[in-house]
Structure 1
Amino acid sequence: MLYLHGLGHFHPENVISNQFLEELDIGTNEEWIIERVGILSRRTVLPLDYIRSTRNQDQRAAFEAAEYNNAQTGSFAARMALERAGISPEDIGMVISGSSAQDMLTPAEASTVAGELNIDVPCFDINSACSTFGMHINVLGMMKPEALPPFVLLVNPENMTRNVNYADRSVAVLWGDGSAAAVVSTRERSRAVFLSSHCDSKPTAWEKVMIPRMGYFQQDGHAVQGFAIRKTTESIRALQSLYPVNRFVGHQANLGMLRTACERTGITEDQHWHNVELFGNTGCSSAPAVLSQHWDDFTPGDHIAVCVVGGGLTWVHTLLKIEDIK
């Protein structure tokens, strides 16, 4: 079991509305966007004037123009998670990070986040694209309690809009920026505990979703959406066979995809926590950010199915149980 002590999230201030995308004159409009992906707005670390004037045709310029980097946004989310956990950065004994598009090839992004927090602890990355948060939970859940320090910080910084071609409407409508963080422990009990988890992948289909080095995000949209619906549905059903699931949080890629999975598994709208309509696809930070936004809504007895999918192709599901601990 893996205990969850605190969650945090951060979304940058700049808002990419559907009207903004329509004004880019790339062949899209609000009706088209809502019908296909159900997204109303997204956040970005890029200045809107930069996107408007360049359509982000030079990615090097995007990294220079960005108002925050991954280490900064990751640390913002981390500080919220630490505050909720009631501990300080100095209490953290290990930092693990992961994202869909790291700022640097070397060092591990966990090191840059720890540097922002001014702590010197073991740091490394575990990456599996949009399913990274689930993979973090799965890997740590398999470890013996004595193998880890009392508190581990997990960070998922995602600033994907720097990797978006804003002349491509099929991609421009999807992505937003956001970061999430979690304080977990295999030793110290808390009210929230990850019980079981499962991960798997289909690497023979890795080319369906990718970001080439110094390239833009690209995917086979039809194939990926079908994969996401199938694996999310299978994941929910697998957890329902073991637990009385009464909440669901999925990868926030597409509101239609999420609702289809809910319809197939009997998850009602009031049981479905999501934020994709306001923040877009924020990669591996999406599911933990939704959980973080509902931190104060956790109720003893809740059994929350967390099901994420990502490039690789990978999928992970885990069950978060909320207990009554004084």
Structure 2
Amino acid sequence: MLYIHGAGHYHPSNVIDNAFLESLDIGTTDDWIIERVGIQKRHTVMNLNDIKTTHNRSVGESQVQINSAQMGAKAITMALARAGISKDEVGMVLAASCSPTYSLPANACVIAQACEIDAFAVDISSACSSFAAHMHFLNNMQAAAVPDYVVCVIPESWTTTTDYSDRRTAVLIGDGAAAVVVSKKHVAAMKIKHTTMTSNPEAWEKVQTKTGHHFFQEGLSVQKFAIKKTIETFKLLAEQSALPLNQHYFISHQANLTMLKSVCKKLKIADEKHLFNVDQYGNCGAAGAPSVLSQNWDQFKAGDHITLVVVGAGLTWGGMQISVDETNQTSSGANHAA
């Protein structure tokens, strides 16, 4: 059993709204964006004037106003406060990113240093499915092999690899970070009961970011795949509990709102059970789903069930079935996006 003691999130201050994208003169409008992906705005680590001037045609050309490690540290700080534990109690830091700042060392080491955590640090990355990879990995380890508390952190500076002359990806991507504090030894109200993770390596070329290049995906085929696998995985996980499917909170990879609504319609998930933030923050890669969990941290109560499903490059998909067994008293009172 894996227990979640705290969750945190962070989004940078610079906002790319649909009016800003219109101003780039790339053949897009607010109506076009809302109709296709349902996203109103996204946040970026980059300078907005740089994006206007260069469209980020050369990766790394635009100025970064907050780095990946700093974002990760902010999410970790919130998660630790909610968990009520100190940095000294953390025995392991797991990290992942769709846009890692360094090829080496492990970005977990860079993030741990930024957060002043002295612990074993390692990357376990599976693109947008990384949160599920972290939870599945830890859930299947023997408790004796895992430190008392583990921090899993995912900072995404994904806009830095986005081509803002290409409206297909420019309208989607945002930046943000998410973190959770978990334990196999110390009980918490929120626990992960079941995890799953699967890959189809034959299709890896469909979603990729070649080192030093822009993010690329075969949009339509990837979306169809994501819808299919999200539905299949939700059913697989939800059936592990005694509750009907429509009584589960649903959190998924925050790819785009149109896709998520299609999934909810097919699964008959009520609007009040669908938790999302993609409309306000865009597709923040692997940080998307856990940031939704963090933003709704204060609303979960005893008896709640959360089915979280993610799909990403690889192609890889997975998820977890989460339950809340008692009143969640680990919150710091923060329930907002930074």
1:97 is aligned to 95
1:58 is aligned to 58
Q: Take 1:254 and 1:172, find their aligned partners in 2: how far apart are those partners?
A: 12
Q: Aligned Cα RMSD in Å?
A: 0.9
Q: Report the AA paired with residue 36 of structure 1.
A: R
2:270 is aligned to 268
Q: Report the AA paired with residue 267 of structure 1.
A: I
Q: Take 1:78 and 1:190, find their aligned partners in 2: how far apart are those partners?
A: 18
Question: Once structures 1 and 2 are overlaid, which stretch shifts more, 210-219 or 116-125?
Answer: 116-125
Q: Report the AA paired with residue 114 of structure 2.
A: E
Q: Which of these residues, 110, 121, 126, is aligned with residue 112 of structure 1? A: 110
C-alpha contact 2:88 2:117 (8 A) present in aligned 1:
yes
1:186 is aligned to 184
Q: Take 1:109 and 1:298, find their aligned partners in 2: how far apart are those partners?
A: 31
Q: Deviation digits for residues 222-265 of structure 1, max 9, x if unmatched? A: 01100110011111111232222520000000111111111111
Q: Which of these residues, 125, 128, 135, is aligned with residue 127 of structure 1? A: 125
Q: Report the AA paired with residue 40 of structure 1.
A: Q
Q: Secondary structure at the match of 1:154?
A: strand
Query: Displacement of 1:117 after TM fit?
Result: 1.6
Q: Report the AA paired with residue 313 of structure 1.
A: L
Query: Displacement of 1:59 after TM fit?
Result: 1.6
Give structure 1 regions of 4+ aligned residues with deviation exceeding 2 angstroms: none
Q: Report the AA paired with residue 184 of structure 2.
A: T
1:210 is aligned to 208
2:336 is aligned to none
1:320 is aligned to 322
Q: Secondary structure at the match of 2:60?
A: helix
1:145 is aligned to 143
2:49 is aligned to 49
1:282 is aligned to 284
Matched ranges for 1:158-173 at <5 A: 158-173=156-171
Query: Displacement of 1:266 after TM fit?
Result: 1.6
C-alpha contact 2:93 2:121 (8 A) present in aligned 1:
yes
Q: Secondary structure at the match of 1:270?
A: helix
Question: Once structures 1 and 2 are overlaid, which stretch shifts more, 22-31 or 260-269?
Answer: 260-269
Q: Take 1:299 and 1:258, find their aligned partners in 2: how far apart are those partners?
A: 24
Q: Deviation digits for residues 154-204 of structure 1, max 9, x if unmatched? A: 000101000001000001000000000000000000000000011101110
Q: Report the AA paired with residue 28 of structure 1.
A: T
Q: Report the AA paired with residue 42 of structure 1.
A: R
- TM-score, length-normalised on structure 1? 0.98
- Alignment pair present for 1:196 and 2:198: no
Query: Displacement of 1:119 after TM fit?
Result: 2.3
1:26 is aligned to 26
Q: Secondary structure at the match of 2:125?
A: coil
1:82 is aligned to 80
